[in-house]
Structures are given as C-alpha cells and as structure tokens.
Chain A
Amino acid sequence: MRYGEIINRNLERGHFLTKQGELIMSMLSVNNIEVVYNHVILALHGVTLDVEQGKIVSLLGANGAGKSTTLKACSNILPAERGEITKGSVHFDGQNNEGMQPTELVKNGCIQVLEGRLVFRNLTVEENLLSGSFIRENRAQAREDLDKIYTYLPRLAHVKDSIAGYTSGGEQQMLAMGRALMSRPTLMLLDEPSMGLSPQIVEEIFQIVETLNKEGMTFLIAEQNATVALRYADSAYVIENGRVVMKGNAKELLARDDVKEAYLGLGEEGRVNFRDVKYYHRRKPSFS
C-alpha cells in the first residue's frame, strides 16, 4: 500500500489529528462511541478520544464513569460482558475494529490488561507469561522474549515457578503486564493498574510504563488515581457519566483549579471535601 493511499483512506475516516497545522498519525481513535449493556443500560454517551503514537494518554474519572467500558470497546471484548457499541467506531492503526475478534486485534498489536489483573490463578507465573505468547507463530522467539520480560520485571523472576494465585497484588499486576508484553504489542491498554496496590508498588509499575514508553510503546491508561496518572501521562481525558468532560495536556490539567478540586482534593484553602467542591462539572461536555 502506498503512503498516499494510507493518507487518503485515513482522512476519510477522520483518522488524523491536526495540531497547529501538522498532520499527526493517531494510533487509536475512538469516534463518538455509544455503548449499551444488556440492551438497556447506556454506559457511554458519545466518547471521542485519540491516542498518538508513542505517547502515554490517561483516562481519568470516578468509579463507574465509563473508563473500563471505553477500554473494552477498544479491544472488542464488550460482547463477553453483553455490551455492544451501538454508535460510532474505533480505529486502531488505520483499521476499523468493527467485527474483529479480540484475537485478531491482539495479533495486530493492541492488547488490554484488565481491571483487577485477572492472572490465571491456577497456572504458574511462567505458564502465565507463556500464555501471552500463544498468539505468535515463532515459538523460539517467544522464549527469548520471556527472558527479556524477566529483565524488565525482575520481581517475576524470583517467583517464576509459584502458582500465580498466591503471589502478591503487585506481582500479579506485573505478571499481567508481562503477559501482555509477550504478544509484542504496539499499544497497551491498562485498566486501573494502581488498584489495590501500595503507593510504592504503584510508582514501580508506572516506572516500568515509562521505560517501555521510552522504547516506543504507546499507552492508554484508565486510572482513578489522578495524581500518579497525570504525572506520567502526556495528555489526558476526563470521563464523567459516560462522556468526556475535559481533555488536554497532562501538565496543564494538573495545574487547573477545577481538576485539582474535583479529582485531587486540593482547594485554594487546603484539602477539600467532595461535598464542598465548587467546580464540579455536570453534564455539559466541554468539547472544542
């Protein structure tokens, strides 16, 4: 396929962002999707976001806002929870995801690390990691990758023969990420990696994310812990009640008063209780 064709095809689908006059390739673009569960529960009311290649994008929001749903819509595993995308589309790497099986998406390089880790509890740590590589044809290469993973995640090397269900939360999170890495992805979707982990381990995990990002991996991270997420991300979106209500550069968002009050509990007079928040965004989305 020639370069010109790619541009034309993607222009049609609104695949490219324009920033200050430049055309930038977005690796993942979510176009105004509406997601319904069980035919009756509307979870996302029209979410649009873009993830540029090589960046870390953070998806923030409270419990139940729709972060996990957005990620699952991207990796096409909604049907497994009786959900479906009723409007809009998701494009990964230039291709429309519609109708693709999760297996194919993983082969193309998009993989999700689910909320709550979900390691294979009855298998050993090493078997878990290997299971991530079954999607690839070259088995010898997979074995090499295993050693590479152990260098990124040294904690796993210590426990590689233990039963995964008995390892600690932090180790399980690393295991889940390592398992995802075994499929040689280009885009990783992390769903609440900090959930249930101590602050130190959370820092460790995000350091690993940073390291991988420096080597070219793109990340979309859904997080409740806005402090940590905004520190490591390049740009961020804030979701509330199934809509994107804020977006922008992470550093800018971190400096905004309303974000600080609503999500970080930092008001002008010191710590703010959620009951006293002045800048709470209601249903009006601030799209531009």
Chain B
Amino acid sequence: MWYREAGQFVTNYYQDRRIFPLRFDRWFVAIGLILLVALPTLYGSEYWLSAHMIPLCAVGLATLGLNLLTGYTGQLSLGTAGFMCIGAFGTFNLILRLPDWLINWPTAMLISGIFAGLVGIVFGLPAIRIRGFYLLVSTLCAQYFVWWFFNQYKYFLDYTPSGVVALPEKYYDYFGLSELMGWDMQSYNNRWFIAILFVIGLTYFAKNLIRSSTGRNFMAVRDMDIAASTIGISVPKTKLLAFFVSCYYCGIAGALYSFAYIGNVDLMIYEVDRSFTIMFMMIIGGLGSITGSFLGAIFVYEFPIAFTVLGDYVFAGAGGHAGGGFDSAAVENVSNMAYGIFIIALLIREPGGFGALWGNYKQKLRTWPFPH
C-alpha cells in the first residue's frame, strides 16, 4: 500500500504538472540519476562502459528519436541510420574545420543535430502527401542517398584513404580540461559522462515535449490527421517539426555512436541494417513510449550477447567456444531463430512492447495488493 497518491497533495499548478506525481518516484529517479551520472564516471570499468553502457546510450537515444517520429506522430521511417550518419559526420567536420576556441565536442554535437534535422525536413516534405507504409520510400531514399553522398564526396572524411577516421584525443576535449586538469579526455569515463548527460537532458526535453501542446499535436496527427486539420492543427507543419526533432535526436545519437562508442568515424556502421535495428528496438520497446525506447534498445542490443554467453555456458563442457563444441555460425543461426521467436511471442503477449509491460506493472503496483 505504499505506492499510492493518497496523502500527497499539491498546492500550486507547478506541482500539479510534475512528471512524477508520486513522492516515491521523485526520490527514486533523482537518486538514480545522480548515481547514474556519478558512479560510472568515477569508478566505471572499461569493459562495462565501452561494451554495454555507452552504446546503449547511443542506440537508446536513436530509438527515442525514431519513436518521436513513428510512435508519436505516426510517420514511418527507415532512414534513422542515415540521419545518425549526418550527425556523426557533421560533428567530425565541425571539430576538424573550426578553431578550437570556437567549438568543442559537446557543442559540435548540438550543432550537427541541426544539420541532421534540416535534412530530415527535406526528406519529410513528401510526408505531406504520402501516408502509411508508402512513406517508407522517402526515408529509405534518404538512407541510401546519405550513404552514397558521403561515400562519393570524400571531402567529408578528410580524404582518409582507408575510409575510416580514428578519432584522436583532442577531439574529445572541451573547455581545455585536458591540459588544465590532466585528465584523459578520451577515456571511456569521460565519454560516458558526456553521453549520459546528453541522454538525460534530451530525454527530459522529449518528455516535456510530449506533454506540451506540440506533443499533443503530434499525437493528433498520428491518430486522425484529417480531424486534426479540421480543428486548426497545421498538419504539414506538425509533420515537418516532428521530422526535425526526430532527426535532431538521431543526429546526436549518431555522433555519440561514432565518438563515444566506436571511436571511429566510419560510413559502414550507418547502413540500412542499422535503421532496421533501431526500428526493432522501437517496436519491441513500444511505440509511443519513452521508457520503452530505452528498454527496447537494451533488449535488442543485449540479446545476441546474452544468448552467446548462455550458449557458451551451457556447452562449456563440450569444449567452449574455442574448442568447437558449438561453432559460432551455428550459434548465430540459433540466436537468430530464438530472436525471431521472441519478437513474435512478445508481440502476441503485449503489442505495446516493453513500454506497455512497464506501464502495466506500475499500474499493478498502484493497486497492489489488489488485482485490479
């Protein structure tokens, strides 16, 4: 009976509009966020940061971006990786070409998001006429076009012969802290710090965006755009705004992916597969759910890893994975089969994905110990 609104009163509108009405939630989230930012930055192990936590920030943010467009505004998009690519390349080029006193890594990311957003608007223009599955054409076109563009015009990769740019430490520096404090700015701890701050900030912004009239416009357009236009919502403007915001998020996510996670700027990581993966994450996490975006990202990202680890563990006696009891191709195939089955089973059980499961769980918690 502890998770209840009873006994918690508000005395002004500001309190009334809080994101977390329950005191328990507020404390939980506040403490959680502080720990989330501080602990890994100070004590995080390299393995966990580099292989799990940082990539999850990047793909989680991309999923959130896609969810804003598809889950909240109903515009299908398979061009996510293309927009991520613009963000990454934009950040790289800004740091490369602008003087150090003017630009640093976080600022560059914020600005390159705008580039991605603008390109998003261009490829979002057809959405004014085209609806439903047919809209995939536009974003797929964006995906392939962006890829071809950066492949064709090597200027953006600084003419690196290998096609891959390994980012040196000075790119990660901001406020001259590298010299001032002697910190290793390229370390995963620093990268995590920036990544998690961006994620928290952007998620907070997204949450408030959804609760605002803009967010309601998005949802109105998703649910019934003809009716929305009759009550005065400008449907084209709303759609284009959704594209801009979503691609902004995807751009920053792409920059985080390249800079914070991989450490290279490489065109190959932004292919169509990536777009599909992000879309999987969004659907498994739940359309129209912010928490779901991150839950879905975590699941999709960790599943193959977890499966392989499990497989190794189960077959450890038969020689482990170097010996040959369980060859890696077989593992991958079985992993694919299990993954496919799991997606289908989850969709059957709860079409709203993990986000809806989470919502149901909280709802049950509110009425616990009663069933409903």
Chain A positions near chain B (C-beta within 8 angstroms): 36, 38, 40-42
Contact = CB atoms under 8 A, between A and B. Distances in A.
Interface in B357-372: 360, 363-364, 372
A36 B371 CA distance: 12
Nearest to B360: A40
A38 B364 CA distance: 13
Interface of A is mostly: strand
A154 B363 CA distance: 51
Nearest to A36: B372
A248 to B, nearest CB: 31
A156 to B, nearest CB: 27
Given A36-B372, A38-B360, A40-B364, 5 more contacts: A40-B360, A40-B363, A40-B372, A41-B372, A42-B372
A42 B372 CA distance: 7
A25 B372 CA distance: 37
Contacts of B372: 36, 40-42
For the residues of B in contact with A, the DSSP-based class is: helix
8 contacts: A36-B372, A38-B360, A40-B360, A40-B363, A40-B364, A40-B372, A41-B372, A42-B372
A47 to B, nearest CB: 17
Contacts of A40: 360, 363-364, 372
Interface residues of B, number: 4
A42 B360 CA distance: 14
Interface string B118-135: 000000000000000000
A267 to B, nearest CB: 34
A266 B285 CA distance: 51
A142 B364 CA distance: 51
A211 to B, nearest CB: 36
A218 B348 CA distance: 37
A165 to B, nearest CB: 14
Contacts of B364: 40
A174 B372 CA distance: 40
B237 to A, nearest CB: 29
A36 B360 CA distance: 14
Contacts of A42: 372
Nearest to B364: A40
A42 B363 CA distance: 13
Contacts of B363: 40
Contacts of A38: 360
Contacts of B360: 38, 40
Interface in B322-364: 360, 363-364
A9 B171 CA distance: 83
Of B363, B364, B372, most A-chain CB atoms within 10 Å: B372
Contacts of A36: 372
Nearest to B367: A40
A40 B372 CA distance: 6
A283 to B, nearest CB: 16
A130 B241 CA distance: 46
A38 B363 CA distance: 13
A166 to B, nearest CB: 15
Nearest to A42: B372
A41 B364 CA distance: 11
